[in-house]
Structure 1
């Protein structure tokens, strides 16, 4: 009988030993401080990941506050799809309230858990508050309700993660301050220590400053907010799958634009951590999965592996890119070399993972600092792009990425707080914007869209000369607009209701009265603003045929009525222009067809334009001028092509500036 029991227990014991070895290998860091506070709870409870959270009803961390400063509530809706811990209870603050955590000196993850649900008779949509940690402003006039409503895909709860360094003889004080006539709340607080200088100096990996004239010193006093943390090409990794710091890694597919590339994965691959990239840098699952461009070199040379991330404008950002080449055929340097572009600027000209890491299966990460300048919108897109660099004649035309972390850096006054998302605008009742109808009226609205697209096409093609004289910054991708949206241009200054008369044929355009435009935009309601430009503000409007975008000329605009009228009246169908009205775009098309591209370049720019970049521009122009509208590219594709041509030009210029670089000529 005893022998039978021994044989029966052996396989589970063997399995247990394997799991333990794997766990020890992937979780080498043991935090010196680990605090889990379930706010509003009266007893200790465990979360689904098995961790124990302390209830804060009689918490020593909040002992300094008067009893009337806060109260505790359970969520009115006990949603079973939302984790019970730490989200189903909350502490509500009616006045200033401070948690004091006695922790050891060093950097800490501070994670704040929010579930903006209904608590008793409190309207969560009226909750606005600020949070500070020691001398750092984390959130200001913050609305958890607006934050949750703006998340894509939709979520009911979320976490905000910050990195705060506690100095010697200092405690970590977390202060909640409700905005006037409002209240603040929190569901859970997590504090986890991390290795010293882990993000501050990148473990001897030097920082690369991407934006010109931007130099900041990342030391242990720098506060950061985690904006994105992605397992590129892999699945979500929960807190217990991290390397001891309980970070969460999400999939990257939500942020990919265009070609998604390949996601090769070699199960059982051994990741060889080093002193430069220790085992706590990122989990094995991050380094054993990746996203590559794929095995087709011709395809890879014609697109960028691209991610786009909405971020708060007006801040510096730290991007940490994780690499690990695990494919067996990649063992030598110069087999794969690629460019890294961040916000249309070259961050790395000759990224070679084997060269950076020292070999196959060895992980490495690189840190970059970039400025996202303030603009007309509180949110801007942060772009990351990879493209093969064949100048060094590598074996493969490919590029890879395994993981990505993006952090917002504090300003000089210690501020990390961004703006709340714009409120979600509810569309008018269904009868005011029904689906497009068939027949004559439907064709009219389609013509409006075609005219708008043609205007954009002419503008894009006209960038041939303008681009090289003035290096333009990234243009926001209009392709993000809804497929069913149409573009109509209406001029109306703030002091006058006179609209500009246009010489466009009446059979191509539908005219709208100003009264109709005011109705469509709810009297130019700020909640309908979707963008702005040199002429003025762009509003979303609803007319009987569908959704339109309406551009309103601002009286204070630096561009005048004449320029605005020129944009409207720009001929929409280039191939049908009379010979005596041939435009720059038409001329470019003919030059492309004849192979005489040098005629397009301003004589003063001869010798400055890279032929490969010029060829790309000509290719774009020619594709824009197809006689059939269906054959012309979308504006999003045009913008991407122009950006790609700009990158080709920048790369060529960088080579030309080197000692042995090739000379540019046309």
Structure 2
């Protein structure tokens, strides 16, 4: 009896221990829990949400805490204590979370519309962004809800709340938690067209459905990652076609496969099964229907665990997404090496969704002698960001009423009447003056026309100190140009803020970058951008048209670049592929812009954030360098470097600058070298989903370059289209740019010469044999420019200086090269 009791005790202890391990399987490195507006900590399950005051160091907001206990007694009946208080944001506000573990993080935002002090949150209207992604746009929560997003983070995570005009934002609670690396990997299958989906790890996602088939609600207390799973009954198209099965105790997780972090046993231990009622001739599908937003792709994860079969190889079935079979004749026991009740999951990515519904179905296999049956244990559907980096922009854009716009225009006209007329006259004068200067052939740096307006367009804050730098637009003019910052006009989202397409009264198309004026870092970048671009005028630098610092706004207005960023043309946006000639010409244009920054002013200007996303293309694919918010003036004549804090973009950062915090022009050269390989290989500079040796593009490409096999890793669209010597020269140029020490790297002028030469090699054609490739032509070309820092002595000093002047004003250096290379291709 004693042995039996001991045995029973051991079983109970082992069960308890296994449950304990199950509930504490994952310990996140980064975890922030905030109960917004609460004066004290709040415990929810095994999590402690810190009091609002303890999170104040993470928050940058225009006002002190504006949070009150809800006066609505209905909140007392809510299960979650997190809905009792809220924080109110009357202006643009940011949470900045230090991140220890690079990778995907969950962002969970809690909302409960109620009355908080003097604020009725049911009337709130606001947007939320994280990093470069728009999470919520024109959001107006109507019910208690938790919005769950996941974003891949490689730097401090910044979450920004942006109230709409004359409105406010609110938040009841927030979680920021690191996600296990293996939870979402880049091995999903694309549904249509069928194939492997690339780039999943860089996507921001919103969880729209997490469903427990055949079971009850699984609360966060019973999930290692604090997820909530809802029952499937409300989504079944025909409830009578499915029956529920529950065998939670039978679930056995496989070694090296699915874990409780993928989904808990309470999900894998229940399932919806075809309700065949013993009819061996049953032939129907069980279908669930989910309402989704149009214009997005969706990540779909199926969870399977065969808890219905008595032995292996009994269950064969088909799985569908909409009308496409994504898993034909699925045999779970074969996948799990003959074991039953073993969790298994499959990941898919849908095509761009043109409907407002996604249908998930399971049905019998057509294999001979297989019994009609099918199961599904769990399902997750996550929305993926669109090409504009938005998870909500397409779905929630509300067009402005023409009548409202007209009334607003009349009011603004009555208020600022005469001033608007003065501004319009000044704009016309300014444009005419610029055109006259251009027609007269002025090649010196543009000293912008400065309009003195005193305090008429100033709010009295420190932002008015930039009023003498460039042309200042009234806020009303910017509103009109952007259709009152219409979210459907957003063309980009960056660290500074959103970029809108706009049109001035004279029909000029502009790009309007709207930032957060209350961020000290944002203000510094705002001023730097104006100061830098006000000093320069060059065809390969994006032109600053003006700025607006009215009403605590920080707005920069640029010339509009029709073809967006170089990055979007290389990967991820589905745009037409660039030819090798187009890519070379874009690199040459960008190099000219950077060369001018380094040499065209009394002091060198170091860009500090050279990357493909900051190289913009006009309607003719001419490249222009943009985004000078991090730019810095170079060292004095008697100095070798500038000592400064490290800033830049992950993957492009000069390792020497990172180690020593000593900035030189060669840091830009290193970043440009990364861009060159990015242009050649058409892939992201950091891709954690790839094997370790391929994660960092620069390191990976350098290995192949040093082996002399760079052609093995080029963009597959370029295979067979690059002449060998052009590729060789391009690879050598990129390799020299990525030298470990700055002193060993070429100047941007040297880089420019070699890129021009790579283009000459690509286009070179022998008069007697036009079909020959550059391998045979190389002997006919001037060998002197094969080496950096070497110029043909037949080119006179006068010619060389003239070439430098041409480059400063943006004119091609082809005249100099015509002394070196004879080619019919130019």
Q: Which residue of 2 aligns with 1:417?
A: 392
Q: Which residue of 2 aligns with 1:589?
A: none
Asked whether the equivalents of residues 248 and 268 of structure 2 are also in contact (C-alpha less than 8 Å), the reply is: no
In the alignment, the residues of structure 1 paired with residue 316 and residue 230 of structure 2 have an alpha-carbon distance, to the nearest angstrom, of 27
After superposition, give the CA deviation of every residue in 1:164-218 in whole Å (9 maximum; x if it has no partner).
1111xx11111000011111100000112111142132xxxx4222223887423
How many angstroms does 1:38 deviate by? 0.1
1:165 has 2:155 as partner: no
In the alignment, the residues of structure 1 paired with residue 295 and residue 217 of structure 2 have an alpha-carbon distance, to the nearest angstrom, of 30
Q: Judging changes above 3 Å, is the alpha-carbon distance between structure 1 residues 51 and 198 closer, same or farther for their aligned structure 2 residues?
A: closer
How many angstroms does 1:140 deviate by? 0.5
Q: Which residue of 2 aligns with 1:78?
A: 73
How many angstroms does 1:311 deviate by? 0.6
Picking from 156, 159, 165, the partner of 1:174 is 159
Q: What is the SS of the residue equivalent to 1:103?
A: coil
How many angstroms does 1:297 deviate by? 5.6
1:505-524 pair list within 5 angstroms: none
1:235-634 pair list within 5 angstroms: 235-243=216-224, 245-258=225-238, 259-296=240-277, 298=279, 301-332=282-313, 335-358=314-337, 359-374=339-354, 380-394=356-370, 396-417=371-392, 419-420=395-396
Q: What is the SS of the residue equivalent to 2:244?
A: coil
Asked whether the equivalents of residues 131 and 174 of structure 1 are also in contact (C-alpha less than 8 Å), the reply is: yes
After superposition, give the CA deviation of every residue in 1:555-594 in whole Å (9 maximum; x if it has no partner).
xxxxxxxxxxxxxxxxxxxxxxxxxxxxxxxxxxxxxxxx
Q: Which residue of 1 aligns with 2:49?
A: 53
After superposition, give the CA deviation of every residue in 1:322-376 in whole Å (9 maximum; x if it has no partner).
00112351312xx22222121222222222221233321221101111135346x
Q: What is the SS of the residue equivalent to 1:72?
A: coil
In the alignment, the residues of structure 2 paired with residue 83 and residue 274 of structure 1 have an alpha-carbon distance, to the nearest angstrom, of 37
Q: Judging changes above 3 Å, is the alpha-carbon distance between structure 1 residues 361 and 38 closer, same or farther for their aligned structure 2 residues?
A: same
Q: Which has the larger radius of gyration?
A: 2
Picking from 96, 111, 116, the partner of 2:113 is 116
Q: Judging changes above 3 Å, is the alpha-carbon distance between structure 1 residues 26 and 45 closer, same or farther for their aligned structure 2 residues?
A: closer
Q: What TM-score does the superposition give when structure 2 sets the normalisation length?
A: 0.45
After superposition, give the CA deviation of every residue in 1:375-419 in whole Å (9 maximum; x if it has no partner).
6xxxx111011110123432x210000111111111122111153
1:196 has 2:184 as partner: no
How many angstroms does 1:227 deviate by? 0.7
In the alignment, the residues of structure 1 paired with residue 345 and residue 10 of structure 2 have an alpha-carbon distance, to the nearest angstrom, of 37
Q: Which residue of 1 aligns with 2:129?
A: 132
In the alignment, the residues of structure 1 paired with residue 112 and residue 392 of structure 2 have an alpha-carbon distance, to the nearest angstrom, of 19
Q: Which residue of 1 aligns with 2:198?
A: 217
When the two chains are superposed, the root-mean-square deviation of aligned CA atoms in Å is: 2.8
How many angstroms does 1:294 deviate by? 3.0
Q: Judging changes above 3 Å, is the alpha-carbon distance between structure 1 residues 299 and 35 closer, same or farther for their aligned structure 2 residues?
A: farther
Q: Judging changes above 3 Å, is the alpha-carbon distance between structure 1 residues 420 and 413 closer, same or farther for their aligned structure 2 residues?
A: closer
Q: What is the SS of the residue equivalent to 1:67?
A: coil
Q: What TM-score does the superposition give when structure 1 sets the normalisation length?
A: 0.55
Asked whether the equivalents of residues 150 and 206 of structure 2 are also in contact (C-alpha less than 8 Å), the reply is: yes
1:102 has 2:98 as partner: yes
Q: Judging changes above 3 Å, is the alpha-carbon distance between structure 1 residues 107 and 345 closer, same or farther for their aligned structure 2 residues?
A: same
In the alignment, the residues of structure 2 paired with residue 178 and residue 391 of structure 1 have an alpha-carbon distance, to the nearest angstrom, of 57
Q: What is the SS of the residue equivalent to 2:351?
A: strand
Q: What is the SS of the residue equivalent to 1:95?
A: coil
Asked whether the equivalents of residues 210 and 380 of structure 2 are also in contact (C-alpha less than 8 Å), the reply is: yes
In the alignment, the residues of structure 1 paired with residue 188 and residue 219 of structure 2 have an alpha-carbon distance, to the nearest angstrom, of 28
Q: Judging changes above 3 Å, is the alpha-carbon distance between structure 1 residues 18 and 176 closer, same or farther for their aligned structure 2 residues?
A: same
In the alignment, the residues of structure 2 paired with residue 348 and residue 18 of structure 1 have an alpha-carbon distance, to the nearest angstrom, of 35
The structure whose residues are more often helix, as a share, is 2
In the alignment, the residues of structure 2 paired with residue 299 and residue 116 of structure 1 have an alpha-carbon distance, to the nearest angstrom, of 52
Structure ranking higher on relative contact order (CA contacts 8 Å, 6+ apart): 1
